[in-house]
Amino acid sequence: MIRKMKWIEVNTYDEMSEVAAKIFLEQIQKKPNSVLGLATGGSPVGMYKELVARHQAGQVSFKDVQTFNLDEYVGLKRTSPASYWTFMHNNLFNDVNIKQENIHLPNGEAEDLAAECKAYDARIDAVEGIDLQLLGIGVNGHIGFNEPGTPFDSMTNIVELTTSTRTENAIYFDDEAEVPTHAITMGIQSIMKAKEIVLIAFGEKKLAAIQKLKSGHITEDFPASQLLKHPNVTIIYGGTN
């Protein structure tokens, strides 16, 4: 069944960040021990800044919040400047009162990666699932690192990154050749299990992806399209016209 997504069009990146931060803020205020699904990339940086500001203003506490990140590179040390672990600490965790033991990212350094994938889904189930999941979107429609062609029923798994994704993400590395070839990502089904989802996208580069999502056509060639089947999705987008 195709459900109705909520579309919020914004004029600026900052407005997108504020609207998204407000949804997260209200979630934490409503349920202080919320389980949040978090994302990396340029899209959420402003939202994280806003959450840090609200925390510093005494409006929100992360004391009992748990977080699960969508993905991590395989074979990169978590302390590497380009790892998602480092990104999350620099952009959010270091500046709020979250407990280290409540922070979860897939471990791309695990010796047994298949076991790590299973364990990650199990850890999410153990806290009764994600209350609110944040997503960005890749220009090819990827969510997390689920590239086009990923089965909709996928759980956390190891993926090979496409050339376009590696090129896009090269800005975080000294050289494109250093971008890992594989990543560990929550699967599309792991994402769909979240109770509520917020997807943020801003800028001309995201235009095609947003238009495709709006067209309402559901296909594994465009991973984000599966979100059309989720009962509670808000898309905050702008700068695409």
Q: Which residues are catalytic?
A: 71, 140, 142, 147
For ligand GLP, the closer of residues 61 and 86 by Cβ is 86
Please compute, for residue 116, the number of CA atoms within 13 A of its CA located in the half-sphere on the CB side. Answer: 19
DSSP letters, 67-99, are: EEESEEESSS-TTSTTSHHHHHHHHTGGGS---
DSSP letters, 146-187, are: B-TT--TT--SEEEEPPHHHHHHHGGGSSSGGGS-SEEEE--
Rounded Cα gap, residues 52 and 50, in angstroms: 5
**Which helix (H) or strand (E) element contains residue 188?**
helix 188-192
C-beta of 37: minimal distance to ligand GLP in Å? 11
For ligand GLP, the closer of residues 34 and 146 by Cβ is 146
C-beta of 54: minimal distance to ligand GLP in Å? 21
C-beta of 223: minimal distance to ligand GLP in Å? 11
Residues shown for the chain: 241
Phi/psi for 46 (5° steps) reads -65, -40
Q: Are 6 and 237 in contact (CB under 8 A)?
A: no
Query: Residue 20, Cα to own-chain centre: how many angstroms?
Result: 13
* Residues near ligand GLP, by CB under 6 A: 39-43, 70-71, 136-138, 144-145, 165, 169
- At residue 23, the 3 state secondary structure works out as helix
For ligand GLP, the closer of residues 66 and 83 by Cβ is 83
For ligand GLP, the closer of residues 35 and 137 by Cβ is 137
Identity of the amino acid at 167: T
Residues with Cβ within 8 Å of 122's Cβ and at least 6 positions away in sequence, in order, are none
C-beta of 57: minimal distance to ligand GLP in Å? 26
C-beta of 184: minimal distance to ligand GLP in Å? 11
For ligand GLP, the closer of residues 28 and 201 by Cβ is 201
